[in-house]
Every structure is written in structure tokens, then in C-alpha cells.
């Protein structure tokens, strides 16, 4: 499978050479380096390309979890998905989550990085404290915050005297997940910012200081512009990750849809359809639609990057 | 770089190499540490979902079984009830890597494919271990059959109950001469009783806990009263929706009134309020051990018949044999033996609040002495059940879709009549979705 | 390391203010972890006592003892180690080979293949979980270690990072070896790999963290509690005694602490590794 992939885009038409010719050419090209990529391509073909192809096919069938008795249904699954209010509401929840998390995490990570960058003492300590939560598994984070938000006995209630139980109210349910997520993942973006800050050549600041720029000016005119690339990266990575949110939400809401179905995300709905209702065909169709959204975000980012590069030139 | 550094690096490299080699080797073995460690001849993997007070009883019964059958190694795993449990059971069964024995809610049986996901019980073998058809409630036994074969062995019935504090209710004048709660037969009776109770309940505590936020409980309570009012969901062939939005509106208004009239403080920890001095709480029978622990005087009846005939939502735990292509031999026999053992030792199980499915237990003096269990044993004759469709059953697709609608009505975020119409839509939509495991629409 | 290293560290007023702020923020970040730790050291009754309090009045290791006695935790720990170590080993090996292949060797269709691999950056079990599951199911690998391991071993991102890195190594180093008559493979293993230790360890560290903490894929592909990894077991297997917060918190720490402890010792490498792999996406 993979070896065929390796030589897929043959330049000359294959019909003009015999089978032995193809095989010889294949051998030569592999000698020149094809074998290096072969193991990866094998895994890639099995666990990335096959699922895509399979997903496309399954989405056109009424396949169930056992894979027996499957028949072709055309675009029925897609029509159903586009008219399914739960697809839209769960997409809405994922989007809402993304909308809350991305700006908060970007600003927080930047501020934490500035702080850690400018404190001169015990630098390791700040890095440890800001980054450590990221090392915890998502399900542990979910359990911890379920406990934190527990009415009467949770820390949040203890410290902030919450008016109501956050995990049981529609209005606060997603916010609670967002708070847990910020705490958990801000460390990753923080590290990216910190590394970017350390990569800014010091002579830029020295030159500015000679010109009499104060700290604010330097931050505004040197630091921020120099962090533009990393900000773009942080935002893009966070958007992609947030749209795929699943783990901490289901753990905090015990694998249910949350109060009044307010926290069911698109990934969760897909898995419910596939693994709870056993409708693998339908779940595949939702997956493909979801994939298109993710791809659109990724392509959009590439387009933005390219446009900016052109503008710089 | 000096010599010591190099040595340390070599050591680390060697250690790393060993770890990698060990891990690869372990992965190749593929059974997991626990199975490797087990030296018993017969290993029965048994999955269940008991994690309340009943979980403790199950552990005790398993320990008793182990003591009596030293040749059998029972590996029990408690998975989280709801999605994870049923998803994992279904997938393990379809993937042919199923445990030898598992627990299932009977309402879920329709969603599991016979032969492909479940294997039938060997009734001769069961009889050998002392379990026969005549020892079971006939309704339960019928529900356990698919095409005449026994695919589930019922263990219990667990109804929704009206728990009441005898001390508080006595102060409110709600206790009859027999020492139990007086009979209440209409919504007006019921709210009058709540009104009296509220007067004697401490400030800050709710009069009644009814899990208003919980989509499962909300649905179960709705089901109970809707069945009392004579409501149905589908016709008997599962082809038409017969849901009565008028009756449903009435029930939803009734449920909502507990909150608007201040008898329930939505979102409170219901069990804690009850133990601290609330008058009532609606709960599953499995809460009996929870309320036994603090030694409060309480009783429990089926949900009161306020809308006509008595009915209370009830489900049943049953044993099933998840599909294994090579089922048979000692492990299979041990699975039968374990299931039969637990079904027959149902008095211990009944301490967890469940009504035993094995009828000889009901007349057992030890059972009759259990309170409040004997007070609500009648609930088994008036079970409000979900329709026998593939999407039904404990925490199944139906409950997941329709439960949140009842919650929304409870909390007032939608009006009762709008919620009733929405429920009808859900029922219609699900009926139109064909059963993914084949076999028509339902 | 940075420009500040040479400057004398002095306690100027602004430093004092910044450090205080840093300490406050750290306290907030650490509070949930400490809360978890203290909960795990309470008795189950004390954990849910109202009103709640920070420090245990009655310090006890009961919860910790219980989780070890029931045995699941140790099983899952072993499984987590097995899966993460295998995934890390395979990913580092395979993506180093592939990164080098793409960066330094020529073969037909390389450009197109590279494009195809880059497209794979968008795929994850969250997006295509159901088809991935049926694929693995068709291979008969549901509820096996390999079913958990192998699908985590085709990360296009890591190939891309190493590809970028290998492109940056001066060609002269390899050419000298070629002239001495060494083959591609020898050059790769004796010259290129040793040169790339920082990048390889970055990829390795990142992969290990991701794999150790991975929940979604192991959740989909394992049903057998004997085979579950830590994050999966903690979320799906229950205690027969209901929710026991002290034990739940102790189990969570068991799953989370190994990485935190490793982090304390290898902080610089891990920070560099995460930043490096993350920034490489630019």
C-alpha cells in the first residue's frame, strides 16, 4: 500500500513501461530514500488515510457498530445531519467554548509570560507553577474541577461563596468548563510566549533605551510586534484544540449532556451517535462535516499567513 | 564532559533501553498485569455498574461466592453507569472481547442484538444451579426472552420511591394509625400534605427533594405520573406515536408546581436535606442504605397514585452473557454459577434497596423483616416502563433526549405545554430513526 | 541563558512588586492542586464535611492505601507506562526516519507525499474517531495494547518538525562522511541522529506527555478495565462504594504526579522541548 503511494505520481505514463520497468524504478527511488519514509507512511496510510477513506464511504451508508448488514444510502446521512438540531446546538456549544477560551487564554498566557520573563529571581519556580497544570491528564482535571465546583464542599464555593451550584445551571455550566480549561492549558501557550520573548534580540531594547523610550514604549513598539507570529500560532492552535473539546467536559458532567443539554459538544455528539446509538454511518457523516470545518480553519490560517508574508515583502 | 557524566548517560541509556524493551514485550503479551497475575484455572470477568449503596452489597456477595468457590477467580469491574458502561459493553460484545458476565438494565435488552452482542443462557445449566423459570415474576421473565431464548437473567426491580421522614411527617399529622404515611390520591391531597409538612420543616431546608435538575430522575418521575394518568408513548406495534400532550402538560405542571410553590429548592443536595430534616425525597430504592446509615426514622412507598391507577417507574438489573465467539467451557459454567448464586442470595441484595426478582425471597422471613423494603415491594406490580424500543432503557437514547426537556419544564425555562409538544417531537423523531442493528424501526 | 543572566539580580522596587505578583498568581495556579492533595489526605467523611476546610484535621493515608489495595490503579499505571513508552519510542524512530527522508533524500513523488502528510496535521481522533475506530476494529485490535499504541504513532506534526530541523543541519557534515564511503543509513545513525539529540528529545518529551495524558483514543478503543490507561480508568471505572472524593483525588494525583515530578527534575529540557515543538508550527 505504502510503496504504491510512494510512487503514485509517476511522471511518465505508466502504460508505456512494463511491469518490470516500474518495479525497477520503484527500487531505485526507494534506494535513494524512499525507505526512510516507508515506516511512517505505512502507519500514516493505515491510521490516517484509511480512516478518512473509510469515513467517507461509511458516511454514505447506514453502517452500525458491528459492521454487518450495511447498505448504501447516498447522501441521506448528510441531509439528516444538516437538519438535525442537535448537530447545530452541539456545534454551537463547541464554538461558544472556543469563543470564550481563545481570547482569554491568549491574553492570560501573554501576561503570565511577561511576568515570568521580567522577574529575575527564582525563574524556575514561576515556570513550574504556571506550567504544572498542563501536565495533568484531562480526566484528572475534570474530576478536580468537579470537586472544586461541588456545592457546599468545593473550594470555589468556600472561597467565592457562589450564589448557586455552577455545574447545575445552564447559564454557568460552560463557564465552569472554561475556567477549568484556562487553568489547565494556559501553561502551554505561556511557554510558547516565554520562548518567543527570550528570542527577541536584546539589542533592540538597548537601542530603544538609548533613544529614550520608556518601558511602556518598548513593550508597545518592540515586544508586541515581535510577538505577532507567536500570537498567530497560539490563536490558531487554541482554536483547533478548542473546537475539538471533549475530555474535561464529559468528565465534569459525568458523560451526560450537561444541565439542559448546554454542554454537549460536537465531538461528544458524534461519539454518542456512533457508540451509544451504534449509528456509525451517521456519526461518520458528522465527522466528515466536522473535518471540513477544521480544515477550513487551518486553510484560513495558511491564507492569512501567506497574505501577511506578501504584505511584508 | 567528564567520565562520570558519560557513565551516567550510559546508565540512563541502558535503563531507557530496558524500559522500551520491557514495554514492547508487555504490549506484545497483551493481557494486562492483572490477568497475568491470576493463577486460578477459571477466570470470570464480571462487569457491573453498581456504585451506590448496592455496590457494597455486591462486593460482599462476591466475596461470599469466592469463599464458596475457590477454583473460580472473579474479576469484577464497576464501570460508570450511563454512556460509558453501555457503550463499552456493546463495543466489547461486538468486538468479541467481552467479559464472561455482565449486568444490564432489562429496558436496554431491545437495543442489544441477540447472537451478535449477547449469548443466550443455558437454562439447563441454570436449573442445575437452582434457578428455574417458576421462581420469577412472569412479566420479568417474559421481558428477558428473545425468540423464546433466555437472554437475560433478572436480578431485581428497582422502583422510584417516595421516601418520607416519619418524625417530620408525624409532626405534620401525615402518619396514619399503622405508623406509615397516610394514603394520598390526588394532586390536591398531595399539595395539602406538602403544605402541612412545610410548616414543620426547618427554615433553609426544602420540604421535598425531587432531583429537579437531573435529567434521568426528571424523566422517571414524569414517566411514573404519566403512567398513572393512563398515558402511553407508542401503539403496541411501535408504529404510531400515541403520546398525549394534554396529559403530559398536566404532569409537567404538577412537577413544576413543587418548585414554584417553594416546596423544592432546585439544585439543593436532595439527600443531605432529607437527612437533615426535609420531609420527603423522591429517589430510587438504591438509596435505602444511604438513609439507613444515619439512623433516621423514615419510610418509603411507591410514588403516590395521584393521577389514577398506581404506577411508579421501575427498571430491572439482569445478568447477561456478552457475546463471545468461543463461549463455553469452564469459564462459561462459572459465569452461570455466579449469576445463579447472586440471584438466589437476593436477601443480601435486597438490603441495598432493590426488590428481588427471585420470588422465593419475597416470602423469606428475613426479607419480610427488612424495612422499608417490605413496605414498597408492591411496586413490582405497578411498574411504569419505557416502550420496548431499541432507543429505550436506562440512560438510553430516549432518556438522553427527553430527560432534558422535562428538566427545562421543571426549571421553568420552557412552559409545560411547549415541553409536552417537544417531547412528542422527540418521540416521533426517534421512531423515524431506523434501528441501526437492523430489524425494522423498533 | 538570557540577557539578564549577566546582570546582577537586585531587589529593586519594581522587582519586589513583580515577584509579589508572581507569587500571588502562582498561589492561584497551585491552589487546585494543593486542594486536591489535602482532600486526598482527609478521611472520606471529612472530605465532604460542611463547612469545608483546607487542611485535614485528621491526616490520614487511608485514601491512598485504599486505591492501592483495590489494585486497579497499579494495573493502569503499568498500562500507561507501557503505552506511553511504546508510543514515544515508535514516534521518535519513525518520524526521525521520515523527517530525514523528506529533508535529505530524493524519491519520486516526494513533494506530493509531503503535501499529503501536511494535510494530516488536521486529523485527530476527535475529528475522525468513529471511522478510526471501525478501521482498528476491522484489524481486530479493539481492546489490545497495539490498538491503543499504533494509531498514536503517525503524527504528521512530529515529522514536520524534524523535517524542518534536518533541513537546517549543514550538508557539509554528511558529505564528509559520504566521501569516506559511508552509506545513507550509516550517516543517519552515526552523524545525523547524535547531532539532533535536542530536537529528538523535544519530540520525545512532547509525545510522552501527550500519550500519557491521552484520554479520547484509549477511551474509544479499550473496554477491558485490565487494559485501561490511567486517564481512561479514572474516568470510566467507578468505585463500588460510590463517589469517594478522597480516593478520587488520590487516584488523580497518582496519574498526574509522575509527570510533575519528572518536570521538576528535567525542567529545562521539557520547557525547551514543549516550546520547540510548539513553536515549530510557525
| Domains recognised in chain B with CATH numbers | 38-157+316-368 (3.40.190.10), 158-314+383-432 (3.40.190.10)
Q: Are B392 and B94 in contact (CB under 8 A)?
A: no
Q: Do A8 and A153 belong to one domain?
A: no
Domain membership of residue A222 as a residue range: 83-312
Mean pLDDT of A251-272: 91
C51 and C103 part of one domain: no
Instruction: Specify the pLDDT at position A136.
Output: 94
What residues of chain C lie within 8 A of the CB of A202, using their CB? 3
Do A199 and A254 have their domain in common? yes
Does C2 score more than 70 pLDDT? no
Question: Model ipTM?
Answer: 0.90
Q: Is the pLDDT of residue B25 over 80?
A: yes
pLDDT higher than 60, residue B163 = yes
What angle is formed at CA B94 by the lines to CA B91 and CA B95, rounded to 5 degrees? 80
Is the domain of A254 the same as that of A129?
Answer: yes
Instruction: Please tell me the least confidently modeled range out of B31-35, C58-62, C204-208.
Output: B31-35
Asked whether the predicted pLDDT for residue A188 surpasses 50, the reply is yes
Q: Is residue A41 situated within a structural domain? A: yes
Q: What are phi and psi of B241, to 5 degrees?
A: -85, 125
Based on the domain organization, do A26 and A108 belong to the same domain? no
**Any CB–CB contact under 8 A between A305 and chain B?**
no
Q: Do C249 and A41 touch (CB under 8 A)?
A: no
Residue A179 included in any domain: yes
Residues C142 and C149: their CA atoms lie apart, in Å, by: 11
Alpha carbon distance B238, A4 (integer Å): 52
In this complex, is the C-beta atom of C223 within 8 Å of any C-beta atom belonging to chain B?
yes
User: Does any domain span residue C269?
Assistant: no
Residues of C within 8 A of A8 (CB-CB) are: 109, 112-113
Q: Do C40 and C160 fall into the same domain?
A: no
Q: Which three cell numbers stand for residue B93?
A: 460484545
- C245 in a domain, yes or no? no
C-alpha grid cell, residue B35 = 490477568
**Cβ atoms of C212 and C259 closer than 8 Å:** yes
Instruction: Identify whether the C-beta of residue A233 lies closer than 8 Å to the C-beta of residue C282.
Output: yes
Instruction: Looking at the structure, tell me whether residues A90 and A17 fall in a common domain.
Output: no
With contacts defined as CB-CB under 8 Å, which chain A residues touch B116?
66, 68
Give the residue among C197, C1, C201, C8 at the shortest CA–CA distance from A199.
C1
* Structural domain ending residue among the three candidates A41, A58, A75: A58
Residues C174, C89 within the same domain: yes
Determine, yes or no, domain membership for C249: no
**Are A40 and A88 found together in one domain?**
no
| C206 domain-assigned | yes
Question: Taking 80 as the threshold, does the pLDDT of residue B8 lie above it?
Answer: no
Those residues whose C-beta lies under 8 Å from the C-beta of residue A224, and which sit 6 or more positions away, are: none
Q: Does residue A106 carry a pLDDT above 90?
A: yes
pLDDT tens digits, B66-79: 999 988 999 898 88
In a domain, A233, yes or no: yes
Q: Do A36 and C124 touch (CB under 8 A)?
A: no
Q: Is residue A43 part of a domain?
A: yes
Write the pLDDT tens digit of every residue in B266-295.
777 788 889 888 999 999 988 888 888 778
Residue A7 has pLDDT above 50, yes or no: no
- Provide CB contacts within 8 A for A214, sequence distance 6+: none
Beta bridge partners of B156: B356
Give pTM, 2 decimals.
Answer: 0.87
Q: Name which of B393, B419, B215, B192 is nearest B306 in CA terms.
A: B192
Residues of C in contact with A49 (CB under 8 A): 116
- As for how many domains chain A has, the answer is 2
The alpha carbon of residue C27 is apart from the nearest alpha carbon of chain B, in Å, by: 30
The enclosing H or E element of B136 equals none
C60 and C177 assigned to the same domain: no
Q: Which range is least confidently modeled, A251-265, A275-289, C162-176?
A: C162-176
Indicate yes or no: CB of B267 within 8 angstroms of CB of A169: yes
| One domain for residues A301 and A200 | yes
B70 touching A (Cβ < 8 Å): no
Chain C residues lying within 8 Å of B49, measured CB to CB: 238
Residue A76 lies in a domain: no
Which of the pair, A265 or C171, is modelled with greater confidence?
A265
How far apart are the CA of B344 and the nearest CA of chain C, in angstroms?
Answer: 21
* Contact check, Cβ <8 Å, A260/B408: yes
Give A171→chain C minimum CA distance, Å.
23
**C3 has a pLDDT exceeding 80:** no
pLDDT greater at residue C3 or residue C100: C100
What pLDDT is stored for residue B206 in this prediction? 92
- If asked whether residues C25 and C90 sit together in one domain, one would say no
Residue A13 covered by a domain: yes
What is d(CA C189, CA C195) in angstroms, rounded to the nearest whole number? Answer: 10
* Most confident segment among A101-105, A154-158, C75-79, C141-145: A101-105
Task: Looking at the structure, tell me whether residues A37 and A97 fall in a common domain.
Answer: no
Q: Residue B16 and residue B29: Cα distance in Å, rounded?
A: 20
The CA-atom distances, in angstroms, between A132 and each of A51, C32, C134, C266 are 34, 11, 36, 13
CATH number at residue A149: 1.10.3720.10
- For testing the chain A interface, which of C108, C111, C276 should be mutated: the one with the most A CBs within 10 Å? C108
User: Is C31 in the same domain as C114?
Assistant: no
Q: What is the mean pLDDT of residues C161-165?
A: 89
Q: Look at residue A216 in the predicted model and tell me its pLDDT.
A: 83
Instruction: Summarize pLDDT for B355-374 with one digit per residue, the tens.
Output: 999 999 888 899 988 888 98
Q: For residue range C41-53, list pLDDT tens digits in order.
A: 998 888 877 778 8
Contacts of C137 in chain B (CB under 8 A): 94-95
Longest alpha-carbon distance in chain B: 92
* Lowest mean pLDDT segment, chosen from B237-251, C12-26, C92-106, C234-248: C234-248
What pLDDT is recorded for position A131?
Answer: 92
In this predicted structure, what is the pLDDT of residue C121? 80
Select the highest-mean-pLDDT range: B87-96, C20-29, C220-229, C253-262.
C20-29
What does the pLDDT read at residue A26?
52
Contacts of C36 in chain A (CB under 8 A): 144, 147
Domain shared by A239 and A205, yes or no: yes
CATH code assigned at C81: 1.10.3720.10
How do residues B311-322 score in pLDDT, each as one tens digit? 999 999 999 999
B408 touching chain A per CB within 8 A? yes
- Give residue A6's pLDDT band: very low, low, confident or very high (50, 70, 90): very low
DSSP three-state, residue C131 = helix
Stretch (H or E) spanning B101: strand B101-105
Q: What subunits touch chain A, counting only 3 or more CB pairs under 8 A?
A: B, C
Segment A194-213, tens digit of pLDDT:
989 988 888 888 888 888 87
Residue A231 and residue A169 in one domain: yes
Chain A CA closest to residue B438: A69
In a domain, C92, yes or no: yes
Question: What pLDDT, on a 0 to 100 scale, did the predictor assign at position A222?
Answer: 86
Identify the CA nearest to B292 among candidates B215, B365, B353: B353
A72 domain-assigned: no
What mean pLDDT value characterizes chain B? 88
Q: Which residues on chain A are in Cβ contact (under 8 Å) with B438?
A: 64, 68-69
pLDDT, tens digit, for every residue of B230-256? 999 999 889 999 999 999 999 999 999
Q: Do A30 and C102 lie within an 8 Å CB cutoff?
A: no
Does A64 contact B213 at a Cβ distance shorter than 8 Å?
no
Pick from C200, C216, C237: which residue ends a domain?
C237
Residues C196 and C116 in one domain: yes
- Reported as a single tens digit per residue, the pLDDT across B118-158 is 999 999 999 999 999 999 988 889 999 998 999 999 999 99
Of chain B residues 308-367, which have a CB less than 8 A from chain A? none
Q: Do B113 and A272 touch (CB under 8 A)?
A: no
C238 vs B: CB within 8 A: yes
**What percentage of residues in chain B have a pLDDT greater than 90?**
53
Interface membership of C135 toward A (CB under 8 Å)? yes
Q: Which of B78-82, C75-79, C145-149, C270-274 has the lowest mean pLDDT?
A: C270-274
Q: Is A219 on the interface with C (CB under 8 A)?
A: no
Question: Which pLDDT does position C275 carry in this prediction?
Answer: 78
Tell me the mean pLDDT in the region B406-431: 93
- Say whether both A137 and A230 belong to one domain: yes
Domain coverage including residue C205? 72-237
Percent of chain A with pLDDT over 90: 52
Task: Read off the pLDDT band of C33 (50, 70, 90).
Answer: very high
C-alpha cell, C189: 545513525
Query: Which DSSP string do the residues of chain A spell out, in sequence order?
Result: -HHHHHT-S-SS-GGGS-HHHHHHHHHHHIIIIIHHHHHHHHHHIIIIIHHHHHHHHHTTB---TT--S--B-TTHHHHHHHT-HHHHHHHHHHHHHHHHHHHHHHHHHHHHHHHHHH--S-HHHHHHHHHGGGGS-HHHHHHHHHHHT-TTTSHHHHHH--SS-GGG-HHHHHHHHHHHHHHHHHHHHHHHHHHHHHHS-HHHHHHHHHTT--HHHHIIIIIHHHTHHHHHHHHHHHHHHHHT--HHHHHHTTTS--GGG-S--HHHHHHIIIIIS--HHHHHHHHHHHHHHHHHHHHHHHHHHHHHHHHH-
Q: Does residue C4 surpass a pLDDT of 50? A: no
Q: Helix %, strand %, coil % for chain B, to 5?
A: 50, 15, 35
For the stretch A76-92, pLDDT in tens is: 999 999 999 999 999 99
- End position of a domain, from candidates C64, C87, C107: C64
Shared domain for C149 and C106, answered yes or no, is yes
Tell if the CB–CB gap between B33 and C149 is shorter than 8 Å. Answer: no
Distance CA C224, CA B88 (A): 8
Q: Could you give the C-alpha distances from B308 to A17, B13, B222, B284, B304, in angstroms and in order?
A: 86, 77, 14, 22, 10
C-alpha cell at A230: 507567536
Residue C27 inside a domain? The answer is yes
> Which of A17, A66, A67, A120 would best serve as a mutation to test chain C binding (most C beta carbons within 10 A)?
A120
Q: Assess A249–C contact: CB distance below 8 Å, yes or no.
A: no
Decide if pLDDT at C227 tops 70.
yes
Q: How many domains does chain C have?
A: 2
Average of per-residue pLDDT values in chain A: 86
Residue C144 distance to chain B (closest CA, Å): 6
Q: Answer yes or no: do C31 and C165 share one domain.
A: no
CB atoms within 10 A of CB A279: 27
pLDDT at B101: 96
Determine the pLDDT at residue C5: 44
Judgement on whether residues A30 and A140 belong to the same structural domain of the protein? no
Grid cell for residue A84: 438535525
Q: Does residue C8 have a pLDDT over 70?
A: no
- Whether B265 and chain A come into contact, CB under 8 Å, resolves to no
How far does C60 lie from chain A, in Å, by closest CA? 19
Report if residue C40 sits inside a domain.
yes
C-alpha cell at B266: 432546585
Q: What is the rounded distance in angstroms from the CA atom of residue B167 to the CA atom of residue A20?
A: 94
**Reported confidence tier of residue B411, pLDDT bands at 50, 70, 90:** confident
A70 within domain boundaries: no
Amino acid at each position: 500500500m505504502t510503496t504504491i503511494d510512494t510512487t503514485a505520481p509517476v511522471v511518465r505514463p505508466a502504460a508505456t513501461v512494463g511491469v518490470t520497468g516500474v518495479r525497477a524504478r520503484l527500487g531505485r527511488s526507494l534506494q535513494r530514500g524512499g525507505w526512510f519514509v516507508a515506516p511512517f507512511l505505512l502507519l500514516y496510510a493505515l491510521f490516517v488515510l484509511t480512516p478518512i477513506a473509510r469515513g467517507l464511504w461509511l458516511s454514505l451508508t447506514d453502517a452500525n457498530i458491528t459492521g454487518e448488514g450495511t447498505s448504501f444510502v447516498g447522501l441521506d446521512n448528510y441531509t439528516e445531519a444538516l437538519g438535525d438540531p442537535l448537530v447545530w446546538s452541539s456545534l454551537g456549544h463547541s464554538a461558544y467554548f472556543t469563543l470564550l477560551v481563545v481570547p482569554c487564554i491568549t491574553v492570560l498566557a501573554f501576561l503570565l509570560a511577561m511576568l515570568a520573563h521580567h522577574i529575575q529571581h527564582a525563574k524556575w519556580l514561576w515556570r513550574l507553577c504556571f506550567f504544572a497544570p498542563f501536565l495533568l491528564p484531562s480526566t484528572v482535571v475534570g474530576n478536580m474541577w468537579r470537586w472544586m465546583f461541588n456545592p457546599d464542599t468545593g473550594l470555589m464555593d468556600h472561597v467565592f461563596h457562589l450564589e448557586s451550584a455552577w455545574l447545575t445551571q445552564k447559564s454557568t455550566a460552560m463557564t465552569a468548563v472554561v475556567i477549568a480549561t484556562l487553568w489547565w492549558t494556559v501553561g502551554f501557550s505561556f511557554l510558547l510566549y516565554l520562548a518567543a520573548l527570550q528570542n527577541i534580540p536584546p539589542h533592540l531594547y538597548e537601542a530603544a533605551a538609548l533613544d529614550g523610550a520608556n518601558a511602556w514604549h518598548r513593550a508597545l513598539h518592540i515586544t508586541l510586534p515581535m510577538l505577532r507570529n507567536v500570537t498567530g500560532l497560539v490563536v490558531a492552535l487554541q482554536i483547533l484544540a478548542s473546537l475539538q473539546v471533549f475530555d474535561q467536559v464529559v468528565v465534569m458532567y459525568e458523560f451526560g449532556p450537561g444541565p439542559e443539554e448546554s454542554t454537549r459538544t460536537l465531538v461528544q455528539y458524534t461519539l454518542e451517535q456512533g457508540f451509544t446509538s451504534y449509528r456509525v454511518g451517521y456519526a461518520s457523516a458528522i465527522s466528515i462535516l466536522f473535518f471540513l470545518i477544521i480544515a477550513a480553519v487551518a486553510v484560513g490560517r495558511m491564507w492569512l499567513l501567506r497574505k501577511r508574508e506578501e504584505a511584508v515583502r | 564532559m567528564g567520565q562520570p557524566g558519560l557513565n551516567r548517560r550510559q546508565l540512563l541509556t541502558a535503563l531507557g533501553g530496558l524500559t522500551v524493551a520491557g514495554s514492547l514485550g508487555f504490549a506484545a503479551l497483551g493481557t494486562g498485569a492483572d490477568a497475568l497475575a491470576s493463577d486460578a484455572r477459571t477466570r470470570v470477568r464480571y462487569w457491573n455498574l453498581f456504585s451506590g449503596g448496592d455496590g457494597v452489597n455486591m462486593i460482599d456477595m462476591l466475596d461470599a461466592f469466592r469463599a464458596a468457590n475457590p477454583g473460580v477467580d472473579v474479576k469484577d469491574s464497576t464501570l460508570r453507569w450511563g454512556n460509558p458502561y453501555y457503550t463499552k459493553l456493546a463495543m466489547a460484545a461486538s468486538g468479541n472481547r467481552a467479559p464472561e458476565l455482565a449486568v444490564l438494565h432489562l429496558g436496554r435488552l431491545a437495543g442489544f442484538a441477540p447472537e451478535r452482542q449477547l449469548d443466550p443462557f443455558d437454562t439447563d445449566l441454570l436449573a442445575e444451579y437452582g434457578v428455574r423459570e417458576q421462581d420469577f415474576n412472569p412479566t420479568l421473565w417474559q421481558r428477558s426472552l428473545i425468540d423464546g431464548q433466555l437472554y437475560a437473567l433478572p436480578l431485581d426491580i428497582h422502583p422510584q420511591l417516595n421516601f418520607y421522614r416519619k418524625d417530620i411527617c408525624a409532626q405534620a399529622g401525615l402518619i396514619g394509625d399503622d405508623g406509615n404515611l397516610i394514603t394520598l390520591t390526588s394532586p390536591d391531597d398531595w399539595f395539602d400534605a406538602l403544605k402541612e409538612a412545610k410548616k414543620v420543616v426547618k427554615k433553609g431546608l426544602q420540604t421535598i427533594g425531587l432531583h429537579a435538575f437531573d435529567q434521568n430522575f426528571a424523566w422517571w418521575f414524569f414517566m411514573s405520573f404519566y403512567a398513572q394518568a393512563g398515558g402511553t408513548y407508542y401503539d403496541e406495534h411501535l408504529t404510531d406515536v400515541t403520546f398525549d400532550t394534554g396529559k403530559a402538560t398536566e404532569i409537567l405542571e404538577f412537577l413544576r408546581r413543587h418548585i414554584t410553590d417553594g416546596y423544592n429548592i432546585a439544585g439543593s443536595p436532595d439527600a443531605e436535606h432529607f437527612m437533615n430534616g426535609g420531609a420527603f425525597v423522591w429517589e430510587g430504592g438504591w438509596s435505602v442504605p444511604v438513609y439507613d446509615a444515619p439512623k433516621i426514622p423514615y419510610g418509603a412507598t411507591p410514588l403516590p397514585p395521584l393521577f389514577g391507577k398506581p404506577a411508579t417507574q421501575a427498571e430491572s438489573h439482569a445478568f447477561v452473557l456478552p457475546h463471545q465467539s468461543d463461549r463455553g467451557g469452564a469459564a462459561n459454567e462459572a459465569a452461570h454459577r455466579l449469576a445463579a448464586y447472586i440471584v438466589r442470595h437476593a436477601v443480601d441484595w435486597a438490603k441495598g434497596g432493590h426488590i428481588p426478582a427471585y420470588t422465593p425471597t419475597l416470602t423469606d422471613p428475613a426479607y419480610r423483616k427488612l424495612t422499608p423494603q417490605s413496605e414498597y415491594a408492591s411496586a413490582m406490580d405497578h411498574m411504569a416502563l419505557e416502550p420496548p424500543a431499541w432507543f429505550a432503557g436506562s440512560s438510553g437514547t430516549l432518556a438522553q433526549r427527553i430527560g432534558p426537556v422535562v428538566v427545562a419544564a421543571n426549571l421553568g425555562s420552557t412552559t409545560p405545554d411547549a415541553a409536552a409538544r417537544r417531547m412528542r417531537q422527540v418521540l416521533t423523531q426517534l421512531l423515524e430513526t431506523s434501528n441501526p442493528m437492523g430489524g425494522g424501526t423498533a | 541563558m538570557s540577557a539578564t543572566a549577566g546582570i546582577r539580580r537586585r531587589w529593586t522596587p519594581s522587582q519586589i512588586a513583580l515577584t509579589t505578583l508572581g507569587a500571588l498568581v502562582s498561589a492561584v495556579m497551585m491552589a487546585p492542586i494543593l486542594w486536591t492533595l489535602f482532600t486526598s489526605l482527609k478521611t472520606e467523611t471529612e472530605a465532604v464535611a460542611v463547612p469545608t476546610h483546607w487542611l485535614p484535621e485528621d491526616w490520614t493515608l487511608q485514601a491512598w492505601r485504599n486505591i492501592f489495595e483495590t489494585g486497579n490503579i497499579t494495573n493502569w499505571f503499568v498500562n500507561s507506562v507501557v503505552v506511553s513508552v511504546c508510543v514515544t519510542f515508535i514516534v521518535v524512530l519513525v518520524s526521525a526516519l521520515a523527517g530525514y527522508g523528506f529533508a535529505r533524500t530524493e524519491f519520486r513523488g516526494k513533494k506530493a507525499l509531503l503535501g499529503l502528510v501536511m494535510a494530516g496535521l488536521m486529523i485527530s481522533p476527535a475529528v475522525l474517531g468513529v471511522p478510526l475506530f471501525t478501521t482498528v476494529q476491522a484489524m481486530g485490535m479493539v481492546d489490545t495494547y497495539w490498538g491503543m499504541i499504533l494509531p498514536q504513532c503517525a503524527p504528521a506534526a512530529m515529522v514536520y518538525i524534524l523535517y524542518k530541523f534536518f533541513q537546517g543541519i549543514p550538508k557539509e557534515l554528511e558529505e564528509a562522511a559520504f566521501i569516506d564511503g559511508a552509506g545513507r543509513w550509516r550517516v543517519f545513525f552515526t552523524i545525523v541522529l547524535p547531532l539532533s539529540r535536542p530536537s529528538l528529545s523535544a519530540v520525545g518529551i512532547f509525545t510522552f506527555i501527550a500519550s500519557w495524558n491521552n484520554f479520547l483514543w484509549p477511551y474509544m478503543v479499550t473496554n477491558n478495565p485490565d487494559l485501561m490507561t490511567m486517564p481512561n480508568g479514572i474516568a470510566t471505572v467507578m468505585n463500588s462504594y460510590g463517589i469517594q472524593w478522597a480516593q478520587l483525588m488520590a487516584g488523580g494525583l497518582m496519574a498526574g504526579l509522575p509527570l510533575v515530578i519528572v518536570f521538576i527534575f528535567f525542567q529545562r529540557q521539557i520547557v525547551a522541548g514543549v516550546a520547540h515543538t510548539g513553536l515549530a508550527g510557525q
